[in-house]
Amino acid sequence: MRVISGSRKGTPLKSLPGTSTRPTSDKVKESLFNKIGPYFDGGTVVELFGGSGSIAIEALSRGMEQAIVFEKNPKACAVIKANAEKCRMQELLHIEKRDARQAAMVLKQKNIRIDLLFVDPPYAAVEYYDVIKEVIMQELLADDATIVCEHDKNTALPEQYDTYIQITSAVYGSTAITIYEKRGY
């Protein structure tokens, strides 16, 4: 696993050993960023169920100005911190050591506006995608925000979350990526 493109291109990243996290593969990550826009001009990325933090780091490498990663596993938090330090992004990446289901409340308190929301819970925990509804209800997404969900290819996510409609979905082996954007933007 590595940073695919941008200012930290080629930097190898660590992941937590074992099966408690499932890092997004380089192939999936590259395809994802090709779909949502390869480079950014600032903005905030929020990664829920962070694992290794590779999506947030990739977004920062491609031009996002800040990242917030929610991860409750202390060992995974240590990996995210090490990856941010290796990429010299520790000032740009903030780790919230808590359950991602608390994200809407925490982000609302911090007055955060999200430009890119990446949701990748454990595949068996489909109910965790409901955190998207909370984020929308709390009005935390910028008008042109993109929501990205990584999930098992056999899990069907809804066609829309409130005013955010599914614009594309792609399958990579056993993994699927579904992307949402605001209708009428």
Distance (Å, rounded) from C-alpha 5 to C-alpha 114?
A: 22
**Other CB atoms within 10 Å distance of the CB of residue 173:** 9
Span 80-104, average pLDDT: 96
Distance (Å, rounded) from C-alpha 108 to C-alpha 4?
A: 31
Which residues, in sequence order, are CB contacts of 139 under 8 Å at separation 6+? none
First-last CA distance in the chain: 34
**Other CB atoms within 10 Å distance of the CB of residue 115:** 21
pLDDT at 106: 96
User: Radius of gyration over alpha carbons of the chain, in Å?
Assistant: 15
Distance (Å, rounded) from C-alpha 28 to C-alpha 119?
A: 14
Predicted structure pTM score = 0.93
- The 10s digit of each residue's pLDDT in 25-52 is 888 898 999 899 889 999 999 999 999 9
Strand-strand pairing, 164-172 and 175-182: antiparallel
Helix 74-86, helix 54-61: angle, nearest 10 = 20
Q: Are 113 and 44 in contact (CB under 8 A)?
A: yes
pLDDT at 148: 96
Please state, rounded to an integer, the average pLDDT across all residues of the chain: 92
Top-tier CATH class for 26-32+40-182? alpha beta
pLDDT at 126: 75
